[in-house]
Amino acid sequence: MRGGRADAAAAFYDRHAPSVHALVFRLMGPDAEIDDVVNDVFVRALESMSRLRDPGALRSWVYGITVRTVAIRFQKRSRQRWLRFMSPEDVPEVVAPAVSGELGEALREVHAILHGMDPDERIALLLHRVEGLSLEGAAEAAGTSVSTYRRRLARGEAKFFARAKSRPALDSWLGEGGS
């Protein structure tokens, strides 16, 4: 990394891997490729560390790399959907983390809603509402202007809450001011 210390890359990974992994999971939902995507994020971050101008913007910079890496994965998937070499019965199941009861059902519903959304709107919603980035930081992480980001966020929120209202498992969450 910049200081030339041999252990800097490992320290960078150790410090940021949990939040990157959590963001990738929120963006992709339960997915067999999460660990591969997280690995790709850190490879890209370490390769481009010299382009980080403001160390104070490290979090949004890493989130930006994360968002772009997930977006690239989504693009590859959509281009390759026509390539089906396995019958549907042979495709392995992706198992979500075990959460039972009402919370588990609510999480499954939230992931189903997010999975059905436009990736740009999903990213906008998660960066600001879940990750807590400011509008400016989230726009930077998403690689867009603040005005474009606001439009995506507004559309994403409207779609999410409209779809969530039809999901009984989310009734109590919405009733508690889930926005």
Give domain status of residue 62, yes or no: yes
Give which of 17, 12, 123, 1 is closest to 51, Cα–Cα: 1
How many independent structural domains does the chain possess?
A: 2
CATH number of the domain enclosing 64: 1.10.1740.10
- Give residue 148's domain range: 99-173
Residue 113's CATH number: 1.10.10.10
DSSP 5: -
Residues 53 and 115 in one domain: no
Q: What is the pLDDT along the chain (179 residues), one digit of tens a residue?
A: 555 666 888 899 999 999 999 999 988 888 888 999 999 999 999 998 888 888 888 888 999 999 989 988 887 776 565 445 555 555 555 555 555 677 778 888 888 888 888 888 988 998 888 888 889 988 888 888 999 999 999 999 999 989 888 888 887 777 655 44
Residue 143 CB coordination number (10 Å): 14
What dihedral angle (degrees, nearest 10) is formed by the CA atoms of 127, 73, 28, 16? Answer: -60
> Both tokens of residue 119?
């990736």
- Reported pTM: 0.61
Whether 81 and 23 map to the same domain: the answer is yes
Can you tell me the distance from the alpha carbon of 179 to that of 173, in angstroms, rounded to the nearest whole number?
9
93 lies in some domain = no
Distances (CA, A) of 87 to 10, 47, 78, 94, 131: 40, 38, 18, 16, 37
Domain C-terminal end among 86, 116, 135 = 86
H-helix or E-strand spanning residue 137: helix 135-142
Q: Give the domain-ending residue among 65, 86, 107.
A: 86
- Alpha carbon distance 119, 91 (integer Å): 23
Quote the pLDDT of residue 100. 60
Report the distance separating Cα 170 and Cα 44, nearest Å: 37
In a domain, 92, yes or no: no
Q: What one-character DSSP code corresponds to residue 169?
A: G
